[in-house]
Chain A
């Protein structure tokens, strides 16, 4: 009676098993005769993803790829100065490089070049392409990449999660998925100086709402919203581990009729500091100026300066357009600022403009200082403070000693934004939409004397992974190690523990902040989907 069902189940199991064995596997090298007769072509093969002419970390996972050349048979020989070459052969052109051999090759050849020789057989004849050559850097990249996986976001959210990927292999583990925390929105994951022992994330909506902070081996849930500000975003840890700078923003989404549909307007924002030991929110006139909108805080590694971005208050961008009063949203531009801070005395200096939007010719957002304190990367876009939706967004590198800055070599014609430094200041990861203009993917680039190498995307076990993966990698952050605590600990803290209400510095008063001014008329940027 149940035979059809059992057969169906068996068929599905068989199909999934068959699928798992379809892709390329290690094979002996092609026969000598074939190699000898190969016609040598004067070009490199098309490979996908494009792992050519780049610099790779000595600890990166295998760069599995597909050869985009029509052929009946494919061979791949990977070699470097030391050790035996890795040889693979298959009929699909989809290569999954054996992990152990790859690891051995990379670790034994740091600083050397890595060559991938590809031959294809078509109509009985072998052809050999120019080798794809990459360089193996001496310096490794931090092994953990944390990010949020979401649908290309418009207004609704449902399923989402914060994940971590071990860059040395293909292991992806959830840090926390929202099905454990009553499906709330989660974002603003951040580490102190790439140290996963100090991490925070923000949850919004439902019982789990609050900022989860892991510090000194303890996990807290804090409500950073006060009479002065709403809950903080875009966090940055002070190197002493006791202070976290947040920005409190009132964001509104709006839409365009052509091109990228989404856009975001910040109608007011201020910076605040959360002092962990005192559970106190504080701020200062230099970072919460009623005449300015301050956002994207970033501590310098020595903790003496807070970098941030600021633009004039929203009303100053209102003017007459077509005979009517209108907001010139496309002209709102943010300057790069910094302000001195003495953590011991809790004393602020005067804010100073590091680079004005006028000089830079665009709006500056997301400043990130390198861990060695020598450089700063920011995003420059035509306007606004939400570069992920702006095609014009590019990464710029500033030398903090000279103040000189330049457009980075790793940019594309599409959105490049949300960057994070490796702890050794030699690698960056950033969100790029260059693949399809739709979903952000993490790309890695090596910095050598201020020159960024051609970036490469996050390697995946399945070379065709990006063909069908429709989620976007949101805010990639590098950490030295994988996050040491499991989902259950985060979830239990979020759901079972009440949020510790942050106390407002008595020097601050309700209504002084501009970040809440438009709250009533501007709903939260994203809302929970109800089916």
Chain B
């Protein structure tokens, strides 16, 4: 009879209460299966519809290739194999339901393992507590899945060793020490947890004398220091922090490699709780006796409540909205960008940047631009320097759609450095090189993408296009971008992208976005000279009647800036716009020309107008 069976028998055999069809104890397996199924379904829904694994994918930009070389590169670090597995799992997150199923399954596995590690018998809610924190941790968009895998490895390793290791201390050590080395190679963080569980179990749960137990524990402590030391100095050559604590819940490593012992995160609390509860459960000589059914019901209700509360607390709403906007913008779901925009999001340069892109794509840039506070001036159109380097792929998206392909390429390469060879980065790099007819370079990225299980077909399609140019001509999206691209070189003005916009607009008669962005930048910069010059220069490109904001700016040119250029006055303006301006002037006049006094009334009636912006919004930046 296995240890597992024996364990369950000792809990349920004595003093079994009278049987009924509602008796939890006599239907343990059925209840466990049902409970697990309910938990899985609940978590699946939670991760799928509330957390959205595709946002985790966007946030983490995982890099995975099904290639020997990629695996080998991972095996050069302790924990590399688990990283490899985690990269594979995380890459599947781009399909939301699949990612949710993975996360739910991982959480469920942890729950079930905790039941085996923490023997609280009928008080089955207790092992659920640490799992709750892990469920919450997994809801974070920056949470690395590898930490859950690491936890699973440690728990499973401990269970195997506890159940299978011989009772004699020496022989037990002979089993535990090599297994710990193996676990270390798979995950240093797991090895530490494994070692701590083994020590706790030995010190608190073993019946042998104190001295052998102490010797056992000291040996494990020595071993758990010795292995990372050897790894850091000889085997793997990694920094000491990584050698000792990689994948540990208390050790955070960001992409730039900086490490820090962070404030205790959710998964850290989970691990601390596991250790605490493990100590208690090892100390308990007897497993708790069976309890009455109503206590099971109470536990179930309490567990549901706890999970619901924890899950609700764990949702990072701002982060979710932010990622939702980025995700929608990256995939061109412009309506979704507009609906997702919230003052919180618009208060961030990147949020506003995507909102303005969405306005353009919905034909509302030159009408509704000031419907939202443009707090960042031109940076709401082009991002500021810091945001560009923080979100290079987003910035690359913008240049790609506007046909400034070299800049799209540049920022995609910055993203390559920042994120690594993630599928979205490689896709962008492949496309820009295809557009520039750099076939060999494009095929490098496509060949690399073919090693990614999710992108294999995508890459195959474009590789086929490269070898058959007629297929490439059938790619309408690419042709559309191609028509926007500049033919003649100019130096990129990174600090003033509106200059590039003018040049792009001048080189491609169909590049309306570049033109609108150039005009809107001069409006937001209050540079009516540049605006009017460009409007006259590109007038033939713009269908009449002009968009409202352009008409309003023309009126502003004449009314405020006192421009008398006949070319300006000859541009027709709709009567409705003139009437609006009369209304604006009337309200202002009503308040004696005092803008402070007229604010409320003008804000209620003219908030979206350029005149209101000119009068009330301070120069940004």
Which residues of A line the B interface, CB within 8 A? Answer: 1-2, 4-5, 8-9, 12, 15-16, 19-20, 151-159, 174, 177-180, 182-183, 254-259, 261-262, 435-439, 462, 467-470, 487-488, 527-531
Inter-subunit contact B418/A488 (CB<8 Å): no
User: Which residues of B sit under 8 angstroms from A258, Cβ to Cβ?
Assistant: 406, 485-489
13 A-B residue pairs with Cβ-Cβ distance under 8 Å, sorted by A, are A15-B66, A154-B413, A155-B414, A156-B389, A174-B237, A179-B238, A255-B406, A255-B407, A256-B492, A258-B486, A259-B489, A262-B410, A531-B390
Q: Which listed residue (B152, B419, B444) contacts A439, Cβ 8 A?
A: B444
Q: Nearest-CB distance from A446 to chain B (Å)?
A: 26
Q: Which residue of B lies closest to A491 (CB)?
A: B237
Contacts of A2 in B (CB 8 A): 109, 152, 156
Ranked 6 nearest A-B pairs via Cβ: A531-B255, A436-B440, A183-B257, A255-B492, A438-B441, A19-B68
- The residue that B113 contacts in the complex, of A1, A19, A152, A470, with Cβ under 8 A, is A1
Which B residues, 438 to 496, have Cβ-Cβ distances below 8 Å to chain A? 438, 440-441, 443-445, 447-448, 451, 485-492, 494
Please name 13 further chain A to chain B contacts, defined as beta carbons within 8 Å, in addition to the given A156-B417, A182-B257, sorted by A numbering: A19-B67, A151-B413, A152-B416, A158-B418, A174-B237, A180-B239, A182-B239, A183-B257, A257-B492, A435-B440, A438-B433, A439-B444, A530-B390
**Majority secondary structure of chain B interface residues (helix, strand, loop or mixed):** helix
What residues of A have a CB within 8 angstroms of the CB of B417 in the complex?
151, 153-154, 156-158, 529
Q: For the complex, is B18 an interface residue (Cβ under 8 Å from A)?
A: no
Nearest CB on A from B158, distance (A)? 13
- Do A5 and B447 form a contact, CB below 8 Å, given A258-B488, A529-B256, A531-B256? no
Q: Which residue of B lies closest to A15 (CB)?
A: B66
- Contact residues in A for B433 (Cβ distance below 8 Å): 438
Residue B233 CB within 8 A of the other chain: yes
Q: From residue 486 to 513 of chain B, which have CB atoms closer than 8 A to chain A?
A: 486-492, 494, 500, 503
Whether A436 pairs with B256 at a CB distance below 8 angstroms is no
Q: Is the CB of B156 within 8 A of A16?
A: no
In the bound complex, what is the Cα–Cα distance between A158 and B257 (angstroms)? 8
Using Cβ atoms and an 8 Å threshold, which residues of chain B touch A19? 67-68
Given contacts A152-B413, A158-B418, whether A183 and B258 have CB atoms under 8 Å apart is yes
Q: What is the minimal beta-carbon distance from B140 to any residue of chain A, in angstroms?
A: 15
Contacts of B428 in A (CB 8 A): none
Q: Contact between A257 and B503 (Cβ–Cβ < 8 Å)?
A: yes
| CB <8 Å contact, A261 and B406 | yes
Q: What is B's interface to A at a CB cutoff of 8 Å? A: 66-69, 71, 84-85, 88, 105, 109, 112-113, 152, 156, 233, 237-239, 242, 254-258, 389-390, 392, 404, 406-407, 409-410, 413-414, 416-419, 421, 433, 438, 440-441, 443-445, 447-448, 451, 485-492, 494, 500, 503
A158-B256 contact given A20-B68, A258-B489, A468-B444, CB 8 Å threshold: yes
Question: Which of A5, A151, A261, A435 is close to B416, meaning CB atoms less than 8 Å apart?
Answer: A151
User: In the assembled complex, which residues on chain A have CB atoms less than 8 Å from the CB atom of B445?
Assistant: 470
Q: Are A257 and B109 in contact (CB under 8 A)?
A: no
Q: Given A1-B109, A151-B413, decide whether A436 and B444 contact each other with a Cβ distance below 8 A.
A: yes
Tell me the minimal C-beta distance from A431 to chain B in angstroms: 16
Q: Is the CB of B255 within 8 A of A467?
A: no
Give Cα A466–Cα B325 distance, bound, in whole angstroms.
37
- The minimal Cβ–Cβ distance linking B183 to chain A, given in whole angstroms, is 13
Report the separation of the CA atoms of residues A43 and B447 in the bound assembly, to the nearest whole angstrom.
28
Residues in chain A near residue B490, CB distance under 8 A: 256-257
Given contacts A12-B84, A256-B491, contact A438 B444 (CB under 8 A): yes
CA A232 to CA B221, docked complex, whole Å: 47
Closest beta carbon of chain A to B454's beta carbon, Å: 16
Q: Are B440 and A257 in contact (CB under 8 A)?
A: no
B residues within 8 A CB of A436? 438, 440-441, 443-444
Instruction: Quote the shortest CB–CB distance from A461 to chain B (angstroms).
Output: 10
**How far, in Å, is A437 (CB) from chain B's closest CB?**
6
Which of B85, B256, B447 has its CB near the most chain A CB atoms (within 10 A)?
B256
Q: How far is the CA of A468 from the CA of B257 in the complex (A)?
A: 25
- Chain A contacts for B255, CB-based, 8 A: 158, 529-531
B254 touches A254 (CB 8 A): no
Tell me whether A468 and B448 are in contact (CB under 8 A): yes
Cβ contacts under 8 Å, B407 to chain A: 255, 257, 261
State A15–B71 Cα separation when bound (angstroms).
10
Interface contact A180-B237, CB-CB below 8 Å: yes
Q: State how many angstroms separate the Cβ of B243 from the closest Cβ of chain A.
A: 11
User: A470, B410: Cβ atoms under 8 Å?
Assistant: no
Please give, as numbers and ranges, the residues of chain A lying within 8 Å of B71 by CB-CB distance.
12, 16
**Complex Cα distance A40/B409, Å?**
46
CA distance A9 to B409 in the complex (A): 37
Q: Given the complex, which residues of B lie within 8 Å of A151, measured CB to CB?
A: 413, 416-417
Given A261-B409, A437-B440, A470-B448 in contact, is the A16-B68 Cβ separation under 8 Å?
Answer: yes
Cα distance A258–B416 when bound, in Å? 20
